[in-house]
Amino acid sequence: MGRFPTDRGIFVRLRPAVVLSALAVTALALAGCSGDETPESTPSASGEATDLCSLALPSGAAAEAVTVEGEAGETPTIALDGELDITTPERVVVSEGDGEQLELGQNVDYALTVFDATTGEQLESVGYDDPILPEPLSTDSGAGQLFGCATVGSRIVATVPGSDSAAATVYVIDLLGNDTPTAARGDAEEPVDGQPTVELAESGEPTITLPDADAPTETEVTTLKTGDGDVVESGDFVLVQYAGVKWSDGSVFDSSWAAGAAAPMSTTGVVAGFQKALEGQTVGSQVLVTMPPADGYGEGEINDQDLTGETLTFVVDILAVQHVEATE
């Protein structure tokens, strides 16, 4: 099903003041229509690209015509060489960093400034002063097309055509780091009798075994590992790894591990049981949560089409948090 703990059965990527997701969607959509101008992919057995180098958008005259001023890691300004003719998404690495090359599955810290492609006016700038949520890299990630296999410390310029609802834009992206963990690294806690058991692969991916017992009637949250990072508060955005199984048959119905990358989400954009598992926990923690249908996808007769009536068990690794200031 993929990215399923949201209250609408889909994964909604919204973050305060962060517009990389919108660019990613645009890049993917337009690159898919650009014919020979899309980069060649290294296909896997499923036909998907298997590395970030093959995912990267191509360079082109529009991206190369943007002059960026300022050092990578600091808020940039740009100068345009006349009016940019942006017909397809393009990217160019304007300065190469001396850090590690990015790889699929990593979580990338970045900063981003957006400019109007006609006037050069700055529209938005995030990530330079206050950290934002790291970006997970997968084969179906628009960020993979933007970042490619660049090295940490690199600065990238991307140009994106306008649409009926948005003007053409120039993005300057600084790749700040790739050391956000891909699994929880907190201190292990003693198991709780009667709870599902969890075994971890070397990667951190969990295997969940349910007890031979009736499903709980109330949501139960158990901390398996306690991290020493920030506390997750209501409305925050978090980056997590998770796997979920059905209590009815023990089958895995969704997993970020299977998707190949962590998942960003808001604590208030997920089902109630998942929200209870996140809020009040610390970054670096691993949490086991079992939720009855009332805190999941609703009461009703279990069927093969959706999760109605199912009691669900998740293991959730909390990797990072972006706090959201309350508004009156």
Residues 325 and 318: their CA atoms lie apart, in Å, by 20
Do 197 and 279 belong together in one domain?
A: yes
pLDDT number for residue 5: 61
Host domain of residue 148: 20-180
Domain with 111 in it: what CATH number?
3.10.50.40
What average pLDDT does the segment 138-156 reach?
90
pLDDT number for residue 326: 57
Confirm if 324 and 236 have CB atoms less than 8 A apart.
yes
Does residue 266 lie within any of the structural domains? yes
What average pLDDT does the segment 149-153 reach?
97
Residues 135 and 156: their CA atoms lie apart, in Å, by 15
Does residue 1 lie within any of the structural domains? no
Percent of the chain past pLDDT 90, that is, above it, reads 72
Q: What is the pLDDT of residues 201-235, one digit of tens each?
A: 999 999 999 999 999 999 999 999 999 999 999 99
Do 195 and 59 belong together in one domain?
A: no
Secondary structure class of 2 (helix, strand, coil):
coil
Do 123 and 240 belong together in one domain?
A: no
pLDDT > 60? residue 258: yes
How far from 41 is each of 25, 30, 56, 222, 223, CA to CA, in Å?
Answer: 18, 16, 9, 43, 41
Q: What is the pLDDT of residues 159-177, one digit of tens each?
A: 999 888 888 999 999 999 9
Does residue 105 lie within any of the structural domains? yes
Q: How many domains does the chain divide into?
A: 2
Q: Which of 155, 180, 205 is the last residue of a domain?
A: 180
Do 30 and 145 belong together in one domain?
A: yes
Average of per-residue pLDDT values in the chain: 85
Q: Which of 180, 196, 214 is the last residue of a domain?
A: 180
pLDDT number for residue 41: 35
Does residue 11 lie within any of the structural domains? no
Question: Higher model confidence: residue 40 or residue 306?
Answer: 306
What average pLDDT does the segment 252-279 reach?
95
Does residue 207 lie within any of the structural domains? yes
Does residue 101 lie within any of the structural domains? yes
Do 247 and 107 belong together in one domain?
A: no
Q: What is the pLDDT of residues 280-308, one digit of tens each?
A: 999 999 999 999 999 999 999 888 778 99
Rank 32-41, 154-163, 278-287 by mean pLDDT and report only the highest.
278-287
Do 225 and 172 belong together in one domain?
A: no
Do 202 and 290 belong together in one domain?
A: yes
pLDDT > 80? residue 152: yes
Does residue 327 lie within any of the structural domains? no
Lowest mean pLDDT of 36-50, 54-68, 69-83, 263-277, name the range.
36-50
Does residue 252 lie within any of the structural domains? yes
What average pLDDT does the segment 271-276 reach?
97
Do 175 and 39 belong together in one domain?
A: yes
